[in-house]
A and B are shown apart, each in its own frame.
Chain A
């Protein structure tokens, strides 16, 4: 390390240690506080009638029978609520050319996907609301549905939004260097592949849900929701329901999984808040599982035609691809549905030195559920395309897949630098990560073993990924484009009279351990035992203003704000202590809940004594001392659009050529997320992410028919990864702290999901290669593998 000594040059009591999360105790005793656990006096329940057709004109809605059902309090159609809601449009100014159409919580004239909410029933129980929903008669004149994204732009395909000339929502091209010349060189080998990535969805175990309460006497809305961005939602309710922003309180308590699913604006949730406002009574809406499949955002859904040119030394001469992705009938509000394609363009090949790069993405409308940001936005596509082409090219030229990476990865001493797509890169460690991986997996020995097994008719393969991961986003991500999404976060730390510390932070807890790492940081930096730290997150009324949880920013941004607030409070407390103890702040320190001598460490005063003196017996202090035992700091990333992390991963699979079944035998993940605040939590983020990625690679797909009907909207039919099929996952760390903050932490939440699919695909192709087969479509189902093998 170079530069001045920091607090991290000596071991810390909590930062960097595997401290168990305090929250686990509660959750293990059934004392979590999830949305459906909320019971309020006079609370009502919402259910929705959803569109049964993918595209159609609503010609009539008969709600009389539903309204007459005992227990039904109100029935609202799109037309009923239209006067009360300002429509929303999912575009951002920095995504030039992106277009979408105004959207309402309930469809008004035209319905555009199966599952779109049409009518809201409010009743005394969810069961009665569902009874009433079954009595609503909706007449719809079907229109032609656009379901195939690959033909969505054909002139013969109907246009979904009449005011537009085509179904194109957005297009972007990156063109760097001279790609055509590079591909035309006679000393390069060119590999071309068509990749298909199926639609997935998040399947959070706690479905989306909300309880809305409205107090007309104060014109105030309180909205408890299972979500990731309370302050963003505060803005959205204020703007679209016509309330002063300060009169909207949004609360996220325990969140039963989110993964990006719970960061968007959903019509059913807006309608729930509106119903509470119109009725002056609390209303609960908890999506059932089928509603989740039909209305939680979907993700991925790309077809990519990619090609790579490598020279005889294995150096990448050029990489080029065309991506098409279908996003449903609207761009999701307010983050837009263009970000994923944008990230595919930004990230593909970003680990590699590359001079010639051309990528085009077309984002198209279709009559399916909306698609938007989900864990590891764009990453699995970007990584699988680049590393899939690279590994195939390595085989074409007879080079080992590790060796070809060694020759192309950006050198560890080359930073700061930038990717071909123009991303600013710093503090990355691709080579060190790759070597750590190769070492951890015993690469050569496994290759030898596979060769031997092949003679016995056992087909195993190894696949690798070198990757970057977008974390700690700056205002360049959304704010610059006009989105009400904070990139900065704040933390307030208060010393209480009893000597304990209270942290409130604008990042939120979804199980990833935000509360735990904030407590670790506060305890360590301020100087109290961790048991004396209480953390509050997820309440717009009581926490500082900030962005919440998305894009792996909780530790890096929220953690840094917490560190700075803890340092500020420490300075303030020492100033008071110096007066009381007739010493100097520089000669004192805070350790284990007491003010001590900086030298020698002798205890001078308990923090509780200091706080009680300040709070109760101010008369003992000089009148010109104005003690503040509370400090707030905010932090944002400057100078970089986001802080990249990097990693290297490998999968070992066995393919059964008779059945097409793929078993992941082993998985290794090396992650460089900068400063590791809690190794157990980081490892578990990576493992959970890897399994989510394996899900995408092998199991998960929203299957639609030609009419736009989702065929597998149940958990029996949409296959998520379960325990039996999943491997144990070895996680290793390289720690290159980011210089953008004191804490040096980057995010770790996207890595596994971003990298695992490509690693698994490469491994499957490695196993299939001796059989003369290849597959570039995810999920790699047994049937698709059998087709690749020509068996069916």
Chain B
């Protein structure tokens, strides 16, 4: 199970990386932490012609506070750095809550937030966290930079709003209003596995104003449960669970769509209990 052959470049600037990725003649793939890409390459399910290693790009690393009370997280910031960051715990506590559930220490030492967001694995935690945080994904191509709201970013199974040649460069987490509360709950058969169903929720104050509910591992992508949010905003927990019927549940090896539907209700209820 050895990766198929490829060419390798490790650019030392973002511009150089974007130029390599923009080459229309080569099937190029960026590699961030590689914790999802390399297994796919070893299985020969991914066979890029050119691997553009982003690990030399210090400019894409780091966590900084923005003046408005939010956070900027460089795309190449590793999970282990997020775990170690007081700033993350303070300004995006839901990320800190979720991190221990994401794989294992050795994986978190390499895996990056930008890699996970770009891959858009429906079972991964990070895309759902982006939705709940109302984050913006900063992306750049050789030509332009733009920001995409998380709500518009995850478009399908491993599909995102990224255009050809665009790279995720940072995550912007807006400041949470005072009294914003978060909870996270997932059901994984083994610690660190992808969940059978998981949810991240946020709401402000006792009344859970402006609630956000984002599920992962229940459908083809991380998604918000807007009907449930509306019910919750009205203080109707049972109604929120009932409203999950709106989700297009997709089964996997561990649970069919019906089971996912059931478990989605359970994780939502339990997450609410943790608020």
Contact = CB atoms under 8 A, between A and B. Distances in A.
Complex: A in contact with B (CB within 8 Å): yes
Interface of A: 126-127, 130-131, 134, 288-290, 658-659, 661, 699, 703, 711-712, 714, 716-717, 719, 722, 724-725, 781-783, 786, 791-792
Interface stretch (B10-18, B127-135, B189-197, B209-217): B189-197
Contact of A792 (B2, B192, B258): B258
A782 to B, nearest CB: 7
Interface string B240-273: 0000000000000111101101110010000000
Given A134-B44, A661-B189, 18 more contacts: A126-B2, A130-B2, A131-B4, A131-B5, A290-B1, A659-B263, A659-B266, A699-B190, A703-B253, A716-B39, A717-B253, A719-B189, A722-B190, A722-B191, A782-B189, A786-B259, A786-B262, A792-B259
Interface in B103-132: none
11 contacts: A126-B2, A127-B2, A134-B44, A659-B187, A703-B253, A724-B190, A725-B190, A782-B189, A782-B259, A786-B259, A792-B261
Contacts of B256: 783, 792
B43 interface: yes
Contact of B190 (A288, A719, A783): A719
A30 B266 CA distance: 46
A685 to B, nearest CB: 24
Contacts of B192: 722, 724
Contact of A782 (B43, B44, B191, B196): B196
B39 to A, nearest CB: 8
B35 to A, nearest CB: 12
A712 B255 CA distance: 14
Contact of B255 (A288, A724, A783): A783
* Of listed A703, A714, A722, A783, residue having the most chain B CB within 10 A: A783
B2 A725 contact: no
Given A289-B1, A719-B189, A782-B189, A711 B253 contact: yes
A158 B163 CA distance: 51
Nearest to A289: B1
Range of interface residues on chain B? 20 to 34
Contacts of A791: 262
Interface SS of chain B: helix, strand, loop or mixed? loop
Nearest to A720: B190
A782 B187 CA distance: 10
Contact of A783 (B5, B39, B254): B254
A725 B254 CA distance: 17
A127 B5 CA distance: 9
A130 B1 contact: yes
Contacts, number: 64
* Of listed B2, B44, B196, residue having the most chain A CB within 10 A: B2
B255 A782 contact: yes
Interface string B89-103: 000000000000000
B191 A724 contact: yes
Contacts of A717: 253
A703 B187 CA distance: 21
A290 B2 CA distance: 12
A404 to B, nearest CB: 33
A661 B187 contact: yes
Contact of A288 (B1, B258, B261): B1
Nearest to A724: B191
Contacts of B253: 703, 711-712, 717
* Of listed B43, B191, B263, residue having the most chain A CB within 10 A: B263
B254 A781 contact: yes
Interface of B: 1-5, 39, 43-44, 187, 189-194, 196, 253-256, 258-259, 261-263, 266
Q: Which 8 A-B pairs have the closest CB atoms?
A: A724-B191, A288-B1, A127-B2, A792-B259, A783-B259, A658-B266, A792-B262, A792-B258
A111 B189 CA distance: 35
Contacts of A699: 189-190
Nearest to A717: B253
Contacts of A725: 190-191
Contacts of B190: 699, 719, 722, 724-725
Contacts of B191: 722, 724-725
A703 B253 CA distance: 8
A724 to B, nearest CB: 4
A289 B196 CA distance: 24
A249 B269 CA distance: 64
A508 to B, nearest CB: 28
Nearest to B270: A658
Nearest to B4: A131
B222 to A, nearest CB: 19
Nearest to A130: B2
A699 B263 CA distance: 18
A290 B43 contact: yes
Contacts of B254: 781-783
Contacts of A719: 189-190, 193
A781 B193 CA distance: 15
* Of listed A131, A661, A712, A792, residue having the most chain B CB within 10 A: A792
Nearest to B256: A783
B49 to A, nearest CB: 14
B153 to A, nearest CB: 25
Contacts of B5: 127, 131
B3 to A, nearest CB: 8
A48 B266 CA distance: 46
B154 to A, nearest CB: 21
A782 B193 CA distance: 15
A659 B258 CA distance: 13
B132 to A, nearest CB: 22
Nearest to A128: B2
A212 to B, nearest CB: 21
B1 to A, nearest CB: 4
A290 B1 CA distance: 8
A130 B44 CA distance: 10
* Of listed A131, A658, A661, A791, residue having the most chain B CB within 10 A: A658
Contacts of B255: 782-783
A130 B254 CA distance: 31
Contacts of B262: 786, 791-792
A458 to B, nearest CB: 15
A719 B192 CA distance: 12
* Of listed B44, B259, B261, residue having the most chain A CB within 10 A: B259
Nearest to A712: B253
Contacts of B2: 126-127, 130
* Of listed B1, B5, B255, residue having the most chain A CB within 10 A: B1
A10 B272 CA distance: 65
Contacts of B189: 661, 699, 719, 781-782
A289 B190 CA distance: 20
A707 to B, nearest CB: 16
Contacts of B193: 716, 719
A461 B43 CA distance: 42
A691 to B, nearest CB: 13
A662 to B, nearest CB: 10
A391 to B, nearest CB: 26
Contacts of B196: 782
A781 B194 CA distance: 15
Contacts of A786: 259, 262
A307 to B, nearest CB: 31
A416 B186 CA distance: 55
Contacts of A130: 1-2, 4, 44
A699 to B, nearest CB: 7
Contacts of B39: 716
Contacts of B3: 127
A288 B262 CA distance: 37
A782 B136 CA distance: 36
A449 to B, nearest CB: 24
A722 B190 CA distance: 7
A781 B256 CA distance: 12
Contacts of B43: 290, 714
A114 to B, nearest CB: 16
A705 to B, nearest CB: 11
